Amino acid sequence: MAIGKSAGRARGPRKPLEADLGFSWGPLNSLLLGLGVVVLTAGYVALSKGSTTLAPVLLVAGYCGLIPASLLLRGRNEESGE
């Protein structure tokens, strides 16, 4: 039997196709994420010291404000990915 292509021919590694989701990460996103991590750390430190007022405020600000903002904000000059 004749085979059209050589069976011993190795293929190179394929690059995975990346879909453009319109997500761009800029310096503002990094700043907000870093600030969110600092606020969360301060919240957990305050929680370990026994704070019942400051710790929840810091944790809510970090988890519900800064971290989502760092993921959702885009630059003003960039086009949307749609």
Which residue range forms the structural domain that includes residue 41? 27-72
pLDDT tens figures, 36-82: 999 999 999 999 999 999 999 999 999 999 999 999 988 665 555 44
In a domain, 32, yes or no: yes
- CA gap 69, 63 in Å, rounded: 10
In a domain, 45, yes or no: yes
In a domain, 5, yes or no: no
In a domain, 49, yes or no: yes
- CA gap 64, 28 in Å, rounded: 17
**Count of CB atoms situated within 10 Å of the CB of 39:** 20
Global pTM reads: 0.67
Total tally of structural domains belonging to the chain: 1
- Give Cα separations from 30 to 1, 13, 67 (angstroms): 61, 32, 10
In a domain, 63, yes or no: yes
Question: Tokens 């750390």, residue?
Answer: 41
In a domain, 15, yes or no: no
In a domain, 65, yes or no: yes
In a domain, 37, yes or no: yes
